[in-house]
Amino acid sequence: MSLQMRVPTVGESITEVTIAQWLKQDGDFVELDEVIAEIESDKATFELPAEGAGILRIKAEEGDTLEIGALICEIEPAEGQKGEVSSEAAPESTPTPDSGPKATGEVHEMIVPTVGESITEVTVSQWLKEDGDYVELDEVIAEIDSDKATFELPAEATGTLRIIAQEGDTLEIGALICKIEKMEGEAPAATATSPVAEAQATTAVPATGGYAEGHASPAAAKILAEKGISASEVKGTGVGGRITKEDAEKAQKATAKPAPKAAPSAAKAEPAAPAPFGGSREQKRQKMSSLRKTIAKRLVAAKNETAMLTTFNEVNMQPIMDLRKKYKEKFKEKHEVNLGFMSFFTKAVCMALEEWPAVNAQIDGNEIIYNDFADISIAVSAPKGLVVPVIRNAESMSFDQIEKEVVRLAVKARENKLTIEEMTGGTFTITNGGIFGSMLSTPIINAPQSAILGMHNIVQRAVVENGEIVIRPMMYVALSYDHRIIDGRESVSFLVRVKELLEDPTRLLLGV
C-alpha cells in the first residue's frame, strides 16, 4: 500500500506553501528521511524529508501552491530495492559508540520568545549553530533582532538542532523557529561526527556527490540570478552538495580569461571597441533589518504627526574648552573617565528644562504630561542603526556620573547589548552630528518626546566681542520642537538659556 505524504504544518500562521524544487524525480527510489523537495512559504523555505523508503510518485509539480494537509506525493513500497540498499549501506555504516548521546524519540519545538512588552515580531539575525549540529541545554544557538535590540536565543533542550526559520526571516512572537530532537548521554567529542550526520553520510549521500549536487535552494537561486551567475559555476557546501544561501552570497562572477595573442598578420586588425565608461556597475540588494524598518516608520511618523519647527543659535565654546584644558587631567585621575562636552550639554539642558517644563512634556491623546524629572536620551550610531539609550534622572547626576553613564551606554550600543529598558522612557533627546563633521542640521523629534537638541561641529570663526573682531571656537545648536505643545517663546527662551549656561559654565555649578 502506498504511503501518502501531505503538506506538513510549517508555522502557526502559514496556511499554504509553494513547491520550490523537487530534489528527486518521479520514479526514483528514496530512503526514509531523505530530503526529496524544498517548499516555500511567505516567510521561509523548508526541506521536505521522505516519510518512508520506496518509489517516489510525484503528485504536485514545481510551482504549485498547496494548502496545509494537501497531497504532495506518494511513496510506493519497494522491498527488493530497499533491502538491496540497506545491505550495501550496512557494512559502511559506523557503529554508534555506547558512550555517545542516544536519541529519545522526542522532538522539542522552540518558538520565538516574548522579548519585550511592545515587540510583536523579530528577525533571525544569525544562526550560531548549523542544521544537524548537536546542541546542549542553554547553549546559545542564534541571535534575533527586534526593532529595539538584539537578543541571544538559548537551546531549550539537548539534542540535534533542526532549523526551521532561516537567517533574515521575520517571525511573529510565538512562531516556530527551530526544533530539537532530544538526546540523552554525554556530548560527542568535538572531532567526532554526530550520529545523525553520520547516518546521512552513509545512506543518503553518495561518495561521488549528493542528490542535490549543483542545485540551488530558492533563496540561493534568487541571489545568483541577481548576480547573473549560473548554478554550475558555484560549488555547493550544503547537504548532498546543495548550493546554500551562504554559497550564493560568497559567489563571484567568473572573469573571462585573456585570449592568447594572435599571430602577426599583414592585414591590419580592426580597432577594438572602447571599454565601457565608469567601471563596474554591480548592484547589491539587501533586506532591511527590523531596526532599520522601525527607524524609518518612526521618523516618517514624527514628520507627519507633529507640527515640527526648528530654531537655531550659536555657542561660544571657548569657556568650556578652557575649563576642560585646565582640569581634564585631574578630572580623569580622580574619576577615571574623560571630561567631555556631553556632560556640560546634559547639565545645561536639565537646568533649562526645569525653567521651561513644556519642552520636557509630551502629548497623550487630549492631555499633556509634564515630567518633574529629566530622562535624557543620547543618540548613538550603532553598527545596526541609530539607537537612543536613556540617562535616567540626569538632573540629579554629577559631571563624572553623566560621563560614566554616557560611556557605558555607548559601549553597550556598539556591542548590540542594550536592553529594552535602557532605550525606552526618555523625556528629551540630545544628538551630536558634529562628531561626523555636520555644521548645521534640523534633527527630527524622537516621539513621543516634544523636543530634541542637535549639536554640531566646532569651527573657528570671526565674531564680534566688545566692538572687536576676534576668533572663537563656535558651535551651531538647533532645537527641533513640536509646536502643538511648545510655543515660539518657550523654544527660543529654552535655547537661549542653554547658550547662557554653556558660555558661562560656572552657572552650572552655582545653579544660576
The DSSP string of 264-327 is: P-SSPPPPPPPPPTTS-------PPPHHHHHHHHHHHHHHHHS-EEEEEEEEE-HHHHHHHHHH
The Cα–Cα gap between 333 and 326 comes to: 13
pLDDT reported for residue 212? 54
Bigger pLDDT: 491 vs 261? 491
What average pLDDT does range 452-458 have in this prediction?
94
Percent of the chain's residues with pLDDT above 90: 33
Tell me: pLDDT of 74 over 50.
yes
pLDDT digits (tens, 9 = 90+) for 120-159: 888 888 899 998 899 988 888 998 887 767 788 899 989 9
Q: Which fold has domain 290-510?
A: Chloramphenicol Acetyltransferase (3.30.559)
Lowest model confidence (mean pLDDT) among 133-142, 164-173, 191-200, 343-352: 191-200
Within 8 A by CB and 6+ apart from 303, the residues are: 444
Lowest model confidence (mean pLDDT) among 1-10, 212-221, 284-293, 362-371: 212-221
What mean pLDDT is reported for the chain?
81
Confidence band, pLDDT 50/70/90 cuts, at residue 349: very high
Query: What is residue 360's DSSP assignment?
Result: G
pLDDT reported for residue 67? 86
Confidence band, pLDDT 50/70/90 cuts, at residue 382: confident
Angle between helices 488-503 and 318-335 (to 10 degrees): 70
CB 57 within 8 A of CB 229: no
Map out the domains of the chain as residue ranges.
1-92, 290-510
What are the backbone dihedrals phi and psi of residue 107, each rounded to the nearest 5 degrees, phi first?
A: -120, 125
Angle between helices 488-503 and 341-355 (to 10 degrees): 140
Tell me: pLDDT of 267 over 70.
no
pLDDT reported for residue 51? 87
pLDDT digits (tens, 9 = 90+) for 467-479: 999 999 999 999 9
Tally: H helices and E strands in the chain:
10, 26
Active site residues: 483, 487
pLDDT reported for residue 78? 73
pLDDT digits (tens, 9 = 90+) for 88-104: 444 444 444 455 677 77
What average pLDDT does range 309-325 have in this prediction?
94
The neighbouring-strand residues paired with 37 are 22, 48
What are the backbone dihedrals phi and psi of residue 419, each rounded to the nearest 5 degrees, phi first?
A: -90, 165
pLDDT reported for residue 345? 95
Q: Which of 35-49, 135-149, 192-206 has the highest mean pLDDT?
A: 135-149
Helices of type H across 61-119 = 79-92
Query: What is residue 510's DSSP assignment?
Result: H
Three-class DSSP labels, 208-269: CCCCCCCCECHHHHHHHHHHCCCHHHCCCCCHHHCECHHHHHHCCCCCCCCCCCCCCCCCCC
What average pLDDT does range 226-252 have in this prediction?
74
pLDDT reported for residue 196? 41
Q: What is the pTM of this model?
A: 0.53
pLDDT reported for residue 346? 95
Architecture of domain 1-92: Beta Barrel (2.40)
Tell me: pLDDT of 391 over 90.
yes
